Every structure is written in C-alpha cells, then in structure tokens.
Amino acid sequence: MRVVVEMSILVVGTVAFDSIEAPSGSVDRVLGGSASYFAVGASFFHPVQIVGVIGEDFPREHLDMFASRGIDLAGLQKEKGPTFYWRGRYHEDVNVRDTLELQLNVLTGFRPRLPESYRNAEYVFLGNIDPEMQSEVLDQLRGSRYLACDTMDHWIQGNRPGLEKVLARVETLVINDSEARLLSGENNIVRAARGILKMGPKVILIKRGEYGVLEFSDSSVFATPAYPLEEVFDPTGAGDSFAGGFMGQLARSRDHSQRGLRRAIIYGSVVASFAVEDFGLKRLDRLTPEEIESRFRQFLDLTDFHT
C-alpha cells in the first residue's frame, strides 16, 4: 500500500494585533501579523502550518478563522502576557508608512518549537520576525526543502549579523525596495539586488508596492506590475500575502523552473491585490478561488504585448 503524505507549507512569523490609520479610514486592534497574512494567502493553494506566538488576550474567533481555512495551529504557542502589537500610519501616498508603536510583548524571548508533524515541511517561509527565531526554525527542520524568507528595516538595523546567517541558508529572499536598499547599502535597485545575491539567496523578489515586483537571479530578471486598483484601502500585509500566494502556487505546482517562478509571482501579486482592498484580513477572508483565477487571467491580459 502506498501512503501519500501531503507536505505542507510552514510559516514562522508574527501573529498580531494591528491598529492602522490610512487615508481611507482607520481600524483598531484587528488581526494582523506577517504569519497571519501569509497563512491565509497561501491557504488558497496548499495546506499551511503556522509557527508563532500569541498572548492570553488572543480571541477564539481568530483561531476559528485560521482553522476554518484548514491552517494547522499546532505550532502556535500561547504564552502569558499580551499579543504582539503594531500601530502604523500610511501617508497620502500609501506606498509610504510610519510605524508609530511596536510592542513585542509575548514575542520577547519567544523560542519556536516545531511539533514533530512540522519538521518535514517541504516549503518553508521565514516571515518577518527576529532572525534568531528564523534560524531556530531552520535548525529544527529535516531534509531538503524550498526555503524563502522576508525581513524588515527593524531587523536589518537591529540584528544584522543574525539576518546574514539566515540569508546564507535560504533559496529566496522576499523584500521591499527600501529594505533592499538598506540591506545592500546601494541606492540603485539593480545594484542592490546584485549585492544581496552575493549574501546567499539565489532568487530575490523585490516588492515595490503599487509598482509591482522585480525578480532577480544570476541568470534572469523579471518584472511585473501590480494589479491597477482605483482605491487601496489598507496596504498592510500586501507583502506577506504576496509571499503566501507565491509560495502557495510553488507548492501547488511543484514547478521551480523560471516559468513556474514567474507564474507564482503573478499568483502572489493577485493575492496581494485583493488583500489591500479592505482593512486587515477582511478581503482575504471572503476571497474565493474563482476570483483568484479570474484575476490571474486579467494579469495575463494586462501584460500581454504579443497580440
């Protein structure tokens, strides 16, 4: 008898309460965090397992939402104290935001512990979190797999040595343009990408907000626009849901060729374009697979110049 075990996508990152002020309105203490956006985005494509930490104040309804999407929560640890909290404000130009408040809370001293059932995950996304925690997850994995990671200015400035160790171990880095400049010390984005490729990753995906995504490797460059939207309600989590769609599609297709990567980049862009249409995770929560496929086809049309 042949037993087929479906391998999951594992994500480590923050599970958070976010307070967001944007030109389109504001919300207080909604569900957010890098792992939350990633997991929900990826769950449309493939089973997902979360590694992270929540506090005693984390409501049941959020756990139920994850569970209803088939997201495995065995690696979500509950600790004494309040959940990680982030407060940010977007400018009129929503590509620009300021962090107004960051309370690490239960994230301080968090030691990720992977349940046995997580250790064979084939696709692993080290979402935005302290690089030490990203490394601890890598140390607990077995066998060969597709590893990708994200980071942000907070960690580039706060724990660069730790981040460099992680970069040396991953296949793909997903990062936004200002962070790529900060990490590489180069202002020009192509030079920045070339500099980061020397730090370890074979592929770099640079997120440029409403301007789309650039992919760089030693042998390729690929560019896609973002899906043009008349109104961006809340850009929070666009990057993480992009990564979720990207990794989700890679895991679903198991196609790591340049063509496969490009398709995954478009699926990531599709998921991100929905994420920004409402506050927090609201839009992704009511998204359907049909809407994803339909917007994927619109992307083909948007970028087609062969006809």
Footprint on this chain of ligand AMP (rule: CB under 6 A): 14, 16, 18, 32-34, 86, 102, 128-129, 152, 154, 236-240
Q: Which is nearer to ligand AMP, 266 or 271 (CB)?
A: 271
Question: CA–CA separation, 62 vs 80, rounded Å?
Answer: 18
- Which three-class secondary structure state does DSSP give residue 278? coil
Amino acid at residue number 40: V
91 vs 297 by CB, closer to ligand AMP: 91
Query: Strand 146-150 vs strand 123-126: parallel, antiparallel, or unpaired?
Result: parallel
Using CA atoms, how far apart are residues 99 and 283, in angstroms rounded to an integer? 23
Q: What are 104's two structure tokens?
A: 């690490």
Q: Whose Cβ is closer to ligand AMP: residue 55's or residue 122's?
A: 55
Shortest distance in whole angstroms from residue 40 CB to ligand AMP: 11
- Tell me whether residue 201 or residue 235 sits nearer to ligand AMP (CB atom): 235
To ligand AMP, the closest distance from the beta carbon of 257 in angstroms equals 27
How far is Cα of residue 274 from the mean position of the Cα atoms in its chain?
14
Least spacing, CB of residue 152 vs ligand AMP, in Å: 6
The closest of 199, 212, 261 to 239, measured between CA atoms, is 212
Cross-strand pairs, 54 = 78
Nearest distance from C-beta of residue 135 to ligand AMP, angstroms: 15
Which CB atom, from 174 or from 193, has the smaller least distance to ligand AMP?
Answer: 174
Q: In DSSP terms, which residues pair with 150 in a beta bridge?
A: 174
Shorter beta-carbon distance to ligand AMP: residue 35 or 122: 35
Cα–Cα distance, 98 to 20 (Å, whole number): 10
CA angle, residues 252, 150, 67, in degrees to nearest 5: 50
C-beta of 120: minimal distance to ligand AMP in Å? Answer: 26
Residues written for the chain: 307
Encode burial over 53-87: b for 16+ CB neighbours within 10 A, e otherwise.
Answer: bbbeebeeebbebbeebebbbebbbebeebbbbbb
Distance, in Å, from the CA atom of 26 to the CA atom of 80, rounded to the nearest integer, reads 29
Q: For residues 21 and 255, which CB has a smaller minimum distance to ligand AMP in the complex?
A: 21
Distance in Å, CB of 85 to ligand AMP, minimum: 8
**CB 33 to ligand AMP: min, Å:** 4
Q: How many CA atoms lie within 13 A of 270 on its CB side?
A: 29
CB 112 within 8 A of CB 51: yes
For ligand AMP, the nearest residue by Cβ is 32
Token duo for residue 185: 């010390």
Instruction: Decide whether 18 or 215 has the Cβ nearer to ligand AMP.
Output: 18
Q: Could you tell me the smallest distance in angstroms from the CB atom of residue 58 to ligand AMP?
A: 13
